[in-house]
Amino acid sequence: MTYSASLEATLDAVAAHLRHARRVLFITGAGISADSGLPIYRGVGGLYDREATPEGLSIEEALSGGMFAVRPDITWKYLIQIEENCRGAMPNAAHRAIARLEEHLDRVMVFTQNVDALHRLAGSREIVEIHGNLQTLVCTACPHEETVGDLSGRAVPPRCPDCGAVLRPRVVLFGEALPEDELDRFIAAFQEGFDIVFSIGTSSVFPYIVQPVVLAATSGIPTVEINPGQTQLSDIVDFYLPLGAAEAMAALAQKLGLDLDDAVAG
């Protein structure tokens, strides 16, 4: 791929920082999975462009903790639609490059908004899934928990095999608090320090996504944004790459001599 001189220089500069880094943080959003064929969601997504669902609800209302409490069938209807759109997706070059970097650095942490599990499938090990994932189902009434490959063939809403209560995926629904244990783990890692911080494929609208990048930038830690469209971080970061996630990370991997073709999925 041929790039403009300025973009090539930016890629070279980011690659140079990565060569000297030992601890790297990747903050990722829906855009990193777009090259795996997943839709970019509005809220949870652009899968939903209409103003209201057939039930007359916004998608945020349908996927809220309050709705789940009174009409879990409605919430599950749209959770299953999201899962169906994730089903069969495979990690792309961006996921694989991040996982491959773990072999060469002391620490690579992924702080992701995504619930598609593609970072785990690519082989990344230290992942903070701040919005949870669709593969872990927990009972709302008893300790039952199970891991599922997909949700095909499940009743809506699915029921606990032990007590018959409604199951839910371990995801953060609208109006619910972020998981404190995952936040604490991320904060502890951030306080220990990173040598470079990436924001990849996120619209950067949530404070918990924006603030770590801003804090890193104001502390003199190199910061990188990879996003085809500009966000509020684009003028704050040290390096802005107006590229798709897979293209940008593949280009950086090539400059670093990383072979992504034999990356092992975990």
Catalytic site residues? Answer: 131
Question: Which residue is it, tokens 């606990």?
Answer: 160
Contact 158, 137 (CB under 8 A): yes
What SS3 string covers 144-204?
CEEECCCCCCCCCCCECCCCCCEEEEEECCECCCCCHHHHHHHHHHHHHCCCEEEEECCCC
Altogether, the residues listed in the chain come to a count of 266
Q: Is 105 helix (H, G, I), strand (E, B) or coil?
A: coil
The whole-angstrom separation of Cα 224 and Cα 198 is: 5
Grouping H, G, I as helix, E, B as strand and the rest as coil, residue 14 is helix
DSSP character string of 212-249 = HHHHHHHTT--EEEE-SS--TTTTTSSEEE-S-HHHHH
